[in-house]
Amino acid sequence: MKRILLLLFFSASVMLGAYRSYAGQMAKPRVIAMTDGEVDDQCSMIRFLLHSNDMDVAAIIQTNSVFQRGGWSKTGWIEKQLDAYEKVHPNLIVHDPSYPTAEELRSKLFLGDEDSTHIVVDTEVIRHIPGVKPMIDPTNWPDTPGSDKIVETLLEKDPRKVYIQAWGGGNTAAKAFQKLKVQHPSDYERAVKKAVMYNIWYQDGAGNYIETSHPDVTMLVSYHFSGTWDYGSQRYTDGFADKYLHNSHGPLAALYPQDYVSEGDSPAFLYTLGCGLRGYEDPTYGGWGGQFYRVNGLKNVYRDVDRGSYLRWVEVANRDFESRLQWCISDKFADANHKPVISVQGGVEKRAKAGETVTLDAYITEPDPLDIDALWAKYAALYEQLGFNKERFAEIAPHRFPKYNAFWWQYKEAGTYNGYVDITAVDSGKCSFVAPRVDKPETLHLILEVTDKGSPALTAFARVIVTIFPIDNRNK
C-alpha cells in the first residue's frame, strides 16, 4: 500500500510540474469579443464561455451588423447565458479552477454601437474585401461604453496583444481607434499596435476604414468560416445537440438555440485558443481559427488561405467542446475526460545549423489516472501467472497500458522551408531529424499531437519552431 501511495504522490508531483511548465509556455491570450447577437452568435457564445478558462477575457461587447442592424442587447440573451453559466460554474472549477466567475464576466459586459445609421447597407458583405475605399467615418459618432472599454484596454501598460473579435460589425472598434488617435496621440501608436482584430467578414464597413486610417492594427479577415462553421456546414452533427446539449447537460447547454453545431463566429475565438498550436502568435502559423496570408499592398491585413485550414481542426475542437459539456454536469474530476498536458524540454523555439541532428523531447502527462481496478479485473489471471500481484501491477500498468497516442508531424505550410524532413520516432514524445541544407535562415514547424483514449478522445498539441541556419551564417 505504501508503494502505491508513494507512486500516486510522485505522479501528482510530476503532473503539477508539467502543468506549471505548460502554463509557462502557453500564456493566455487577452480577448475582447464583439457580438451582434445573431442566432449563431448565441451558439458561439456558449462555446466561448466554456473556453473562458483558456482566455483572459477583457470585455464582451454587444454590437450590430448589416444583418442585425438593431442588435439584440435588449433581449438579454447574454445575461441569460451568464445566469446559466453561474449554475454550472461550481462543476467547471472542479475541472479547471481558472474559470472566471459569472460575476466577473458580467462586469466585462458592455454595450457598443447598435446605431443602424452607422452601417453600410449592403447585405452582400462578401464584397467588402480588403483594399476597398472606406465608406464610413466615425469621427462624429458618439462614444459608447464598448468603444471606451476598447480604448481603456489598449491604453493599459500591459504589453500583451489584445485580440479583438468582430463576430458581427466592427464599428465599435472603429470608433475606439479614432478616439485613440485624436485624444491620445502620444499613446496612439503603442496602443493600436497591440490590437489584433479578427473579422468574420467585414460586416459594416469598419474593416476598410480601419485598414486605411489605422494601418498599425493587425486585421484578419475570415471568409472560409462559411462552409466550415456557419449555418449548415456541420449538418453531420445533427445528433450532437440532442445528445450533448439538449439532453441533461445542464442549463447552459440547454440554451443552445440550434439543433446542430452552427457557430459561424467561433473561429474568431478559436484562433486565440492556446491548444499548444500557438496559432495566435502569428496569422501565418495556422490553428483552430484558420491560417492566413498577408494581403499585398496592405501593411497588416491578412486573409484566410482556404477551408482546409479550418477543417483539419473541426473534429478536435468539437470533441473538446463535448468534454466541457460533460464538465458542466460532473462534480467529480474523475467523472469526465481531460486532455493530456505536454511540456517540451528546452522550450518551443529551437535553433540548429544545416546538417545537425535535432532532437525534440517532450514530457506528456495524462491528467486522468488509469482505472487500476478495472484493468486488474481484466488481466489479473494473466499477470498472476507471471508472478505479479495487484500492487506490482499498479506500478507497471501506466507503462504497459499508455492512455494516449503521440506522434510528431511537420506543418509544412506554416514554415518557410519549402520541403519535408524525415522525422524518426514519430510515435512518441521524442523525435529527431537532420536539419536540411539551406541558403538562408529557414523555419520548420514541428507539431507534437497527443490524443488520449478517453471518451471523448481529447487532443493536445505542442508546436516547436526550429530555425535552421546555413553552416557559415548561424552566428550572423
Instruction: Average the pLDDT over 39-62 and give the result.
Output: 98
Q: Which CATH class is domain 2-335?
A: alpha beta
- Between 370 and 147, the higher pLDDT residue: 147
Give the pLDDT band (50/70/90) at residue 127: low
* pLDDT exceeds 80 at position 104: yes
- Between 398 and 464, the higher pLDDT residue: 464
* pLDDT exceeds 90 at position 125: no
* pLDDT exceeds 50 at position 323: yes
Average pLDDT, the chain: 90
Give the global pTM.
Answer: 0.89
438-450 pLDDT, tens digit per residue, is 999 999 999 999 9
- What pLDDT score does 390 carry? 79
d(CA 459, CA 342): 11
* pLDDT exceeds 70 at position 21: no
263-321 pLDDT, tens digit per residue, is 999 999 999 998 899 999 999 999 999 999 999 999 999 999 999 999 999 999 999 99
Task: Considering the chain, tell me which residue range(s) the CATH 2.60.40.10 domain(s) occupy.
Answer: 341-368+403-469
- What pLDDT score does 69 carry? 92
Task: Considering the chain, tell me which residue range(s) the CATH 3.90.245.10 domain(s) occupy.
Answer: 2-335
Instruction: Average the pLDDT over 135-148 and give the result.
Output: 96
- What pLDDT score does 4 carry? 39
* pLDDT exceeds 70 at position 423: yes
Second-level CATH architecture of 341-368+403-469? Sandwich (2.60)
